[in-house]
């Protein structure tokens, strides 16, 4: 199908919309959201892709983060895809909250039965940016990416592997070293198979040791995050950046947890980080 408009809503003199299309990478219909700032009525504008975390959808960030006011001021388009394919009907995909539905981990699966549809990496780095540039007044030469938790992992990996596509990157409480944590090991074992050496291509801490990003990476992490010690490992990414000379600002915030009140507190600073890089 062609681009389908699900709904559009006036918001800070721009438009918050929800859309669907038939994805060639995924092989199924995919949904995504777009905030068009008021500047997009007269010109192409920079676009920042946001990758949400486990159990989220294309609606979560738009509803909970409160990002539209700052994006309207800065003239940034915000795009948020869904977090996994829907309707693949893979056996077991709905059995747990941290694998399968709502948990695509932004990788291209190579293990069966996931390889046919679970191709979120190629969807986010190739198909969706091309669709946005074709259907919306976005400037494909000025693209950034950020995300939260599983989506923070995705944003770091997508930017490190595609510096020609994304000129800026940031993350909230990202899964920094998925090969070293239970969430990542479960996802990679299922989607990528038993060859753990192949997992490093999808591990931000491993990637940044080999290829620095041309620009500063911004990460915010709450110190009251219940997932910090076991799942997130920002210290591993910090050490890898120090080893490779990657410019990194890693801010640790006392009292903040893993949720969207934390994201809403700092989202404007992330948008300003992207706006500065995409001028």
Could you give the C-alpha distances from 152 to 24, 170, 264, in angstroms and in order? 25, 8, 15
The pLDDT, as a whole number, for residue 59 is 98
Q: What is the DSSP letter of 76?
A: -
Percent of the chain with pLDDT over 70: 100
Residue-wise pLDDT for 148-201, tens only, equals 999 999 999 999 999 999 999 999 999 999 999 999 999 999 999 999 999 999
Query: What is the overall mean pLDDT for the chain?
Result: 98
pTM: 0.98
- Show Cβ contacts of residue 194 under 8 Å, excluding neighbours closer than 6 positions: none
The 10s digit of each residue's pLDDT in 101-153 is 999 999 999 999 999 999 999 999 999 999 999 999 999 999 999 999 999 99
CB 76 within 8 A of CB 268: no
Cβ contact 26:85 at 8 Å = yes
| Peptide linkage before 113 cis (omega within 30 of 0) | yes
Q: pLDDT tier at 1 (50, 70, 90 boundaries)?
A: low
Q: Among residues 112, 78, 88, which one has the least CA distance to residue 29?
A: 88
Per the CB < 8 A criterion, the answer to whether 33 and 16 are in contact is: yes
Give the integer Cα–Cα distance in Å for 264 and 45. Answer: 23
Residue with tokens 């950020």: 146
> How far, in Å, CA of 253 to CA of 266, rounded?
10
For range 231-245, the mean pLDDT: 98
Tokens of 256: 């903040």
Q: What is the mean pLDDT of residues 10-25?
A: 98
pLDDT tens track for 37-89? 999 999 999 999 999 999 999 999 999 999 999 999 999 999 999 999 999 99
Q: Which residues are catalytic?
A: 149, 225, 258
């Amino acid at each position: 199908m062609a681009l389908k408009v699900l709904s559009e809503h006036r918001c800070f003199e721009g438009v918050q919309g929800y859309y669907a299309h038939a994805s060639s990478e995924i092989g199924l219909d995919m949904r995504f959201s777009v905030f068009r700032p008021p500047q997009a009525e007269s010109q192409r504008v920079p676009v920042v892709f946001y990758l949400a975390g486990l159990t989220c959808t294309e609606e979560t960030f738009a509803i909970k983060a409160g990002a539209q006011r700052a994006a309207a001021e800065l003239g940034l388009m915000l795009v948020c895809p869904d977090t996994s394919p829907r309707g693949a009907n893979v056996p077991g995909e709905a059995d747990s909250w941290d694998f399968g539905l709502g948990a695509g981990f932004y990788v291209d699966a190579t293990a069966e039965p996931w390889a046919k549809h679970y191709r979120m990496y190629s969807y986010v780095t190739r198909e969706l940016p091309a669709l946005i540039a074709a259907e919306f007044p976005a400037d494909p030469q000025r693209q950034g990416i950020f995300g939260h938790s599983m989506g923070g992992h995705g944003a770091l990996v997508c930017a490190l592997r595609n510096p020609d596509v994304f000129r800026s990157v940031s993350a909230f409480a990202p899964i920094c070293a998925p090969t070293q944590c239970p969430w990542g090991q479960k996802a990679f074992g299922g989607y990528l198979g038993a060859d753990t050496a192949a997992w490093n291509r999808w591990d931000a801490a491993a990637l940044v040791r080999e290829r620095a990003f041309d620009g500063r990476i911004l990460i915010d992490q709450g110190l009251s995050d219940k997932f910090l010690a076991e799942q997130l490992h920002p210290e591993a990414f910090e050490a890898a950046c120090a080893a490779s000379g990657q410019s990194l600002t890693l801010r640790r915030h006392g009292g903040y947890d893993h949720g969207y009140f934390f994201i809403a507190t700092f989202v404007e600073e992330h948008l300003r980080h992207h706006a500065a890089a995409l001028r």
